[in-house]
Amino acid sequence: MKKTGIYIAFFSLLFLLSSAIDSNDLFNYENQFIPDYITKDNTESNFISDEGATLGRVLFYDKMLSSNKSVACASCHLQERAFGDTARQSIGVNGLTERHSMRLINSRFGKETRFFWDRRANSLEDQTIVPIKDHLEMGFSGNNGDQGIEELIAFMSETDYYPELFDMAFGDPLISETGIQLALAQFIRSIQSFDSRFDEGYAQVGGDPLIDFPNFTNIENKGKKLYVSGFESDIVGEGFRCVQCHVLPEFSIVDEGTLSVGNNGVISVIGSPNEVDLSNNRSPSLRDVVNPDGTLNTPLMHDGSINTLGGLMAHYSTVGPAQNNPELDIRLQNGPLQIPQDEKQAVIAFLKTLTGVNVYTDEKWSDPFNEDGSLSLFDLVGFHENKHIQNVSYYPNPVINDFNIEIKNTNTEFVLSILSIDGQQILSKKIGARTKLDLRHLSSGIYVLKIKDLNSRKTFKAKFIKS
């Protein structure tokens, strides 16, 4: 009986610890394993740091970043769906999106530096602020009665976490639009998926996609061959040509020259089937189109009009010049890809091998907020004594009954808080430069002492032990 109790206490402590953001124990975003055959990378100068991506994770999941506090990036980009949305149109603060939300898998690993279905953002950094400023999506447009980004920044400055997270990420508690862009882009670039059966096989054959993979079934190997059969052949050559636009081994879209693959009656403007939208020439990586459970993660294409892989193959077997699409990509102008039924099944089987496992569940890409909407921050200033407020002493440590705090500082007004290890506030009171607390009723454990200088707004943090 007793032992079980101890185990439960131990594991629940572990659980609490793991849900807090602890600057001494950040997730690994900056040194993740990347297979050596992955060579395309659209990072320009905003390299991923653990601190920056951690801030990006909080921003990505924070509903406070929308005008009615109900929508976060993650509302339309769901981890369990490869960071896409199962809905054809996603719900923003002022209505439904006009295009389908894109999956955000391996966004970093492409030659293409531009983003969105129509590549209208010049970089990922440019992209990340757009949804926040979009009237429909998150609502800080600054127009027509919407608040602007300045109001959002003022609001973020009032939270008890953003100044600390910005300080951790960029060495300055000041919140800026640029900082938001950089941190979100770092987080999105960190989302990577290289544990698929394709990766296993590709490594096994030394990176030659034309050799059969030992870990594939016959039908998967056949599908692979069909997928890459446009490989190194000329633009109007035979074969499926998938690989000419969705290039191996990243399965990212080629960086230039791709035009529309649309207009067979299904690729249109959402909600207006007669109005075709031919400006879309980017696709997310084809990795993780399918969930590990075998179902499609999201409807496909910019209008989310295709709901099955069979429908996808049907699209590519009919799209061609006959549809009178002036923007049609040259690789499809020779006529539709002639794909017999059994070959369609083989390509579908191959597409399903491009799905990983880890990206759907790894905590580093998951929601950091607690169920009540609070965020547990831990040790963000590194517990270095005197990092911000000079000369704080606290004793004894471990403490049994009386706990003394002395601050040598010209200011005289401070707020003292005691937090549990997972960031829950236990006590908070205004104090002067010297104070004595009676902690005899506090149960034993590790706690965080936090002192905020009410004049300079600077914070001191340290751990102490109650025995």
Q: Where does this chain bind ligand HEC (CB under 6 A)?
A: 60, 71, 73, 75-77, 90, 92, 97, 99-104, 107, 115-117, 124, 127-128, 131-132, 137-138, 184, 188, 240-242, 244-246, 258, 261-262, 267, 280-284, 286, 289, 300-302, 312, 316, 329, 331-332, 337, 347
Neighbours of 166 (CB within 10 A): 23
Q: Provide, rounded to whole angstroms, the least separation between the CB of residue 139 and ligand HEC.
A: 10
| Contact of 449 with 464, CB cutoff 8 Å | yes
Distance CA 440, CA 445 (A): 12
In terms of phi and psi (left: phi > 0; alpha: psi -120 to 50; beta: otherwise), the region of 168 is: alpha
**Which residue, chain included where needed, has tokens 């050596």?**
36
Q: Cα 201 from chain centroid?
A: 27
Q: Provide, rounded to whole angstroms, the least separation between the CB of residue 48 and ligand HEC.
A: 15
Distance CA 345, CA 310 (A): 8
Q: Of 156 and 286, which CB lies nearer to ligand HEC in the complex structure? A: 286
Q: Of 194 and 414, which CB lies nearer to ligand HEC in the complex structure? A: 194
Q: Of 83 and 414, which CB lies nearer to ligand HEC in the complex structure? A: 83
Q: Provide, rounded to whole angstroms, the least separation between the CB of residue 71 and ligand HEC.
A: 5
Q: Of 316 and 447, which CB lies nearer to ligand HEC in the complex structure? A: 316
Instruction: Write out the two tokens for 335.
Output: 């006529």
Distance CA 248, CA 269 (A): 30
Q: Provide, rounded to whole angstroms, the least separation between the CB of residue 243 and ligand HEC.
A: 8
Q: Provide, rounded to whole angstroms, the least separation between the CB of residue 333 and ligand HEC.
A: 9
Q: Provide, rounded to whole angstroms, the least separation between the CB of residue 304 and ligand HEC.
A: 8
Q: Of 318 and 417, which CB lies nearer to ligand HEC in the complex structure? A: 318
| Contact of 194 with 249, CB cutoff 8 Å | no
Distance CA 11, CA 187 (A): 29
Distance CA 233, CA 467 (A): 73
Q: Of 49 and 90, which CB lies nearer to ligand HEC in the complex structure? A: 90
Q: Of 282 and 458, which CB lies nearer to ligand HEC in the complex structure? A: 282
| Contact of 451 with 392, CB cutoff 8 Å | yes
Q: Provide, rounded to whole angstroms, the least separation between the CB of residue 112 and ligand HEC.
A: 8
